[in-house]
Amino acid sequence: MKLQEKTESNFRSRKAERDTTESSLQEAGLESNSAIDSLVRRVRHRQNRLQVLFLGIKLGIPGSEKALNNALFRYGDEYMALDYLNCGSPELDKGGRHWAYAHGYRVTSSKCGFGTGVECPGGVKWGQF
């Protein structure tokens, strides 16, 4: 009997968590995707946030850019914005620029990064491990 109650309680807890994630995804304009759902849930927690965002960029899941840009706006800093600017995704580049301007930074061109045709050394790359 207790096992069944505990299972029912866990089921309700997981359903509430899924419902919360679903509403976050809807706010970001995304359809449900289990990988994106997991990223959205983990980015909310401070522990390993940067690594989770890096994973999202490396996975390069089409349609996840809005969720990643939203995470940058909620939890980002100048280092995250630089990674977005230089990862090779046009949508994340836009998000990085928007974050930079909103926080009083100027974005300057360099000899590498999005739009130059030259990949910047180091850093995280869209869709690449």
Q: What are the pLDDT digits (tens) for 22-31? A: 455 455 444 5
What φ, ψ does residue 118 adopt, rounded to 5°? -120, 125
CA distances from 120 to 39, 76, 88 (A): 25, 21, 9
Q: What are the pLDDT digits (tens) for 3-50? A: 333 444 444 544 444 444 445 545 544 455 677 777 777 877 778 888
Distance CA 67, CA 24 (A): 9
**105 C-beta neighbours (distance < 10 Å), count:** 14
